[in-house]
Amino acid sequence: MSDIINGLGRTSAYGALGLVLLILGIVLVDVLTPGKLPKQIWEERNRNAALFLSSALLGIGGIVFTSIWTTYDDFGKGLASTAAFGLLGLILMALAFLVLDLVTPGKLGAIVVDPQPHPAVWVSCACNLAVAAIVAASIA
């Protein structure tokens, strides 16, 4: 019985940390793009913005998953590792977005939230997922 209670406690801690990292991902995408992200997605039904945010959330989720999956035997060390790799993933995704913005025409933030479908959004999403995969692979 104590194993179950211990497992529930660890799961709750990792779950809370994962939620914090996902929220930070939402805030990061909101900062990188013009306008208010919740309004663009939930009120204006902007598919470009929703797709880009989804890729960021999937990327962070993949990093957190990998970090938990390969966690240290020491719970505290595993939690710290998950936080560190999650934050690093967010930072690297933001940097990749800024670099992609520099090397491509137009303002990427504006393109990502444009209501008209744009192929650059798919490239930006692929960049998010690629960066997350690199971070996740470095954990294992």
The pLDDT confidence band at residue 71, using thresholds 50, 70 and 90, is confident
Amino acid making up residue 7: G
Paired tokens of 120: 């650059």
DSSP letter at 70?
T
pLDDT in tens, 33-65: 999 999 999 999 999 999 999 999 999 999 999
pTM, two decimal places: 0.93
Angle between helices 119-139 and 75-103 (to 10 degrees): 150
Paired tokens of 6: 């211990």
Amino acid making up residue 112: V
Give the integer Cα–Cα distance in Å for 3 and 41: 42
